[in-house]
């Protein structure tokens, strides 16, 4: 589809997302490379010249089908302070992600590899995803809220308070097939002035379900230090990183699809290892951002039984991942200063 960009002032469009766009103009802005900066692809890391790429570790024979033997890890952007919240925008052919401490959202264009600023300031945006109508959803640390960017470019606040008290710092979010938004609310954005600003905690660290039609929210998981989350492909299970465990917990979603029960450990980690954001593929495998130092940093892959079957080694800790590309078979990895990608032998599940 040909996308025409009609703007009276490019600078005004950058600085104020209250400017009214049509859906066609918004997609044009998403796909354009006319402004911003290009983080230089510099540094000591170099991709392997060998196939299969030795960075892709097969830890169980079942992982062989997911390793494309003629694909390797690529670094498509670098120069961020801490990359988070990647989300694929298929109708614009681009990847968006947060450079959290730099208070900006960045965009990588699949067509020419350019990296530009999508939004700055971003209110210290962290996690991002799209709803079932293709609108961008964002967790904002500084404003302590979850927002939705409409097709016309305007920004709507979906939630910033619960029971009359301010949220802590929404971290990550997913959208269920019933359009409900599930998000985590730890304290990382209010615990200092690097990922937001230091402020008093008013609410426990919960996981919430938000019904955007009614605007009502409910606590679905409490008494955790929540981080990344996602649903299994059939939405019968919710996976959640609990930094108190430390590790990943699994919950049964109730028949009504609005609550969870019987939470139990899915993956238990050594205290020196930090799981972060993750997504499921169509076979129910969990591709999880992983941190723990040299030799551990990267992406760990677990099957639906919680057994690790594969590993992608990266030179930086990985905070979050998403699947994208025209066939949803390209894994994008937000890893500290850089964004990496890898074509894999599976596809991302719906909503991931």
In a domain, 351, yes or no: no
From 90, 123, 130, 122, select the one nearest 106 (Cα to Cα): 122
Question: Using CA atoms, how far apart are residues 233 and 195, in angstroms rounded to an integer?
Answer: 31
3-state secondary structure of 84: strand
pLDDT band at 217 (very low <50, low <70, confident <90, very high): very high
In a domain, 58, yes or no: yes
Residue 349 within a domain: no
pLDDT at residue number 15: 38
Cβ neighbour number for residue 302 with a 10 Å cutoff:
22
Contacts of 229 (CB under 8 A, 6+ apart): 172, 173, 174, 182, 183, 184, 207, 238, 239, 240, 241
| Tally of CB atoms within 10 A around 37 | 12
What would you measure as the largest C-alpha separation in the chain, in angstroms?
57
Q: Is residue 4 domain-resident?
A: no
**What distance in Å separates the CA atoms of residue 19 and residue 205, rounded to the nearest whole number?**
34
Q: To the nearest 10°, report the CA torsion of 292, 297, 303, 304.
A: 50
Give every strand in the sheet of 104-109, ordered side by side: 115-119, 104-109, 94-99, 74-89, 330-343, 320-324
Specify the pLDDT at position 44: 74
Q: Report yes or no on 3 lying in a domain.
A: no
Is residue 2 in a domain? no
**pLDDT, tens digit (0-9, with 9 covering 90-100), for 289-323:** 999 999 999 999 999 999 999 999 999 999 999 99
Q: What is the CATH number of the domain that holds 326?
A: 2.120.10.30
Structural domain total, the chain: 1
- In the prediction, which pLDDT does 6 show? 32
pLDDT at residue 232, rounded to an integer: 98
Question: Which pLDDT does position 3 carry in this prediction?
Answer: 36
Q: Which residue has the tokens 């009359």?
A: 164
Both ends of the chain: CA-CA distance in Å? 24
Residue ranges of alpha helices (H) inside the chain are 10-15, 23-31
Rounded to an integer, the average pLDDT of 29-40 is 44
* 148: its two tokens: 């939705």
Contact in structure between 257 and 234 (CB atoms under 8 Å): no
Instruction: Give me the sign of the Cα torsion angle 132, 133, 135, 140.
Output: negative
70-129 pLDDT, tens per residue? 999 999 999 999 999 999 999 999 999 999 999 999 999 999 999 999 999 999 999 999
**pTM of this structure:** 0.90
> Does residue 59 sit in helix, strand or coil?
coil
Instruction: Return d(Cα 110, Cα 129) in angstroms, integer.
Output: 18
pLDDT on residue 271: 86
User: Is 350 a domain residue?
Assistant: no
Predicted pLDDT of residue 10: 34
Let me know: does 158 contact 211? Beta carbons within 8 Å: no
Would residue 352 count as lying in a domain? no
* Cβ-based burial of 279 (10 A; exposed 0-12, middle 13-18, buried ≥19): buried
Q: What is the DSSP secondary structure assignment for residue 344, as one 8-state letter?
A: B
Residue-level pLDDT at 43: 57
Q: Which domain holds residue 321?
A: 10-343
pLDDT band at 199 (very low <50, low <70, confident <90, very high): very high
């Amino acid at each position: 589809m040909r996308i025409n960009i009609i703007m009276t002032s490019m600078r005004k469009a950058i600085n104020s997302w209250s400017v009214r766009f049509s859906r066609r103009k918004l997609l044009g802005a998403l796909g354009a490379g006319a402004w911003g900066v290009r983080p230089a692809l510099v540094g000591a890391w170099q991709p392997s010249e060998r196939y299969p790429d030795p960075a892709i570790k097969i830890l169980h024979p079942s992982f062989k089908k997911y390793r494309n033997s003629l694909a390797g890890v690529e670094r498509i952007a670098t120069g961020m302070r801490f990359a988070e919240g990647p989300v694929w925008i298929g109708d614009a052919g681009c990847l968006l992600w947060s450079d959290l401490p730099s208070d900006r959202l960045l965009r990588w264009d699949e067509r020419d590899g350019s990296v530009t600023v999508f939004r700055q300031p971003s209110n210290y945006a962290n996690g991002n995803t799209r709803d079932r109508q293709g609108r961008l959803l964002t967790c904002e640390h500084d404003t302590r809220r979850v927002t939705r960017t409409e097709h016309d470019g305007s920004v709507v606040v979906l939630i910033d308070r619960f029971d009359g008290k301010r949220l802590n710092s929404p971290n990550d979010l997913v959208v269920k097939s019933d359009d409900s938004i599930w998000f985590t609310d730890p304290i990382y954005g209010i615990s200092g002035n690097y990922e937001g600003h230091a402020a008093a905690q008013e609410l426990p660290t919960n996981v919430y379900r938000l019904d955007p039609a009614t605007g009502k929210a409910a606590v679905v998981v409490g008494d955790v230090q929540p981080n990344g989350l996602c649903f299994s492909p059939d939405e019968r299970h919710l996976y959640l990183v609990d930094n108190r465990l430390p590790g990943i917990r699994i919950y049964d979603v109730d028949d009504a699809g609005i609550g969870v029960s019987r939470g139990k450990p899915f993956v238990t980690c050594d205290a020196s290892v930090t799981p972060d954001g993750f997504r499921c593929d169509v076979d129910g495998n969990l591709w999880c951002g992983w941190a723990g130092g040299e030799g551990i940093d990267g992406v760990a892959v677990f099957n639906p039984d919680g057994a690790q079957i594969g590993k992608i080694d990266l030179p930086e800790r990985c905070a979050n991942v998403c699947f994208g590309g025209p066939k949803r078979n390209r894994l994008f990895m937000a890893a500290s200063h850089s964004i990496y990608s890898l074509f894999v032998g599976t596809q991302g599940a719906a909503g991931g």
